[in-house]
Amino acid sequence: MEKKKLRVAVIGAGAWAERAHIPGWQRDSRAEVVALVDLNLAMAQEVGAKFNIPLITDSYEEILKDPTIDVIDVATGNDAHFQVSMDAINAGKHVLCEKPVNRDARETQRLADLAKSKGVKTKLGFTFRYAPAVQMAKDLIDSGFIGEPYVFNGYEQNSQWIDPATPLRQAEQTELGEGVIAVSSIEGYGAPIIDIMHWWVDSPMTQVVGTMRNFVPTRMIRATGTMERMNIDDGDMWLCEFESPTIASIQSSYVTVGNYPGVEARIYGSKGAIIVRLVEEFGICQTIKIATKDSVEFVEQEIPQKYFPEGGNSLEPWPFLFYSNLIKNFTDEILGAAPQAQGDFSQGALVQRTINAFERSYRERKWINFSEVKGA
DSSP H or E stretch at residue 187 = helix 185-188
| Per-residue pLDDT at 237 | 98
Residue with the larger pLDDT of the pair 153 and 167: 153
| Per-residue pLDDT at 173 | 47
Question: Is residue 177 predicted with pLDDT exceeding 60?
Answer: no
Is there a contact between 345 and 100 (Cβ–Cβ < 8 Å)?
no
Helix or strand or coil: residue 249? strand
Is there a contact between 106 and 358 (Cβ–Cβ < 8 Å)?
no
Contacts of residue 56, Cβ cutoff 8 Å, sequence gap at least 6: 35, 36, 37, 41, 44, 45, 48
C-alpha span between 246 and 269 (Å, rounded): 9
| Per-residue pLDDT at 170 | 53
Confidence of residue 1 (pLDDT cuts 50, 70, 90): very low
Is there a contact between 182 and 173 (Cβ–Cβ < 8 Å)?
yes
Residue 114 neighbours by CB distance under 10 Å: 16
Residue percentage of the chain with pLDDT more than 70? 96
Residues of the chain with CATH 3.30.360.10: 129-372
Query: Using the 8-state DSSP alphabet, how is residue 256 labeled?
Result: S
- Average pLDDT over every residue of 300-326: 96
Residues of the chain with CATH 3.40.50.720: 6-120
Confidence of residue 172 (pLDDT cuts 50, 70, 90): very low
- Residues 343-354 have pLDDT tens digits of 999 999 999 999
261 preceded by a cis bond (ω within 30 of 0): yes
Question: Is residue 74 predicted with pLDDT exceeding 90?
Answer: yes
Question: Is residue 11 predicted with pLDDT exceeding 70?
Answer: yes
Confidence of residue 2 (pLDDT cuts 50, 70, 90): low
Confidence of residue 171 (pLDDT cuts 50, 70, 90): very low
| Per-residue pLDDT at 169 | 65
What is the assigned CATH class of domain 129-372?
A: alpha beta
Task: Give the CATH fold of the 6-120 domain.
Answer: Rossmann fold (3.40.50)
Is there a contact between 108 and 352 (Cβ–Cβ < 8 Å)?
yes
Is there a contact between 188 and 170 (Cβ–Cβ < 8 Å)?
yes
- Residues 110-152 have pLDDT tens digits of 999 999 999 999 999 999 999 999 999 999 999 999 999 999 9
Which of 16, 372, 370 is CA-nearest to residue 197? 370
Helix, strand, coil percent values for the chain (each to nearest 5): 35, 25, 40
C-alpha span between 230 and 228 (Å, rounded): 6
Q: How far is CA 185 from the centre of its chain?
A: 13
Which of 216, 214, 225, 235 is CA-nearest to residue 167? 225
Residue with the larger pLDDT of the pair 228 and 250: 250
C-alpha span between 152 and 133 (Å, rounded): 16
- Give the C-alpha distances (Å, rounded to integers) separating 308 from 96, 313, 315, 316, 324: 20, 7, 12, 11, 9
C-alpha span between 213 and 215 (Å, rounded): 6
Average pLDDT of the residues of the chain: 94
Phi, psi of 373 (to 5 degrees): -100, 115
Contacts of residue 334, Cβ cutoff 8 Å, sequence gap at least 6: 6, 70, 71, 94, 121
Helix or strand or coil: residue 376? coil
Question: Is residue 70 predicted with pLDDT exceeding 90?
Answer: yes
| Per-residue pLDDT at 115 | 97
- Average pLDDT over every residue of 172-177: 51
pTM higher than 0.85: yes
C-alpha span between 308 and 322 (Å, rounded): 9
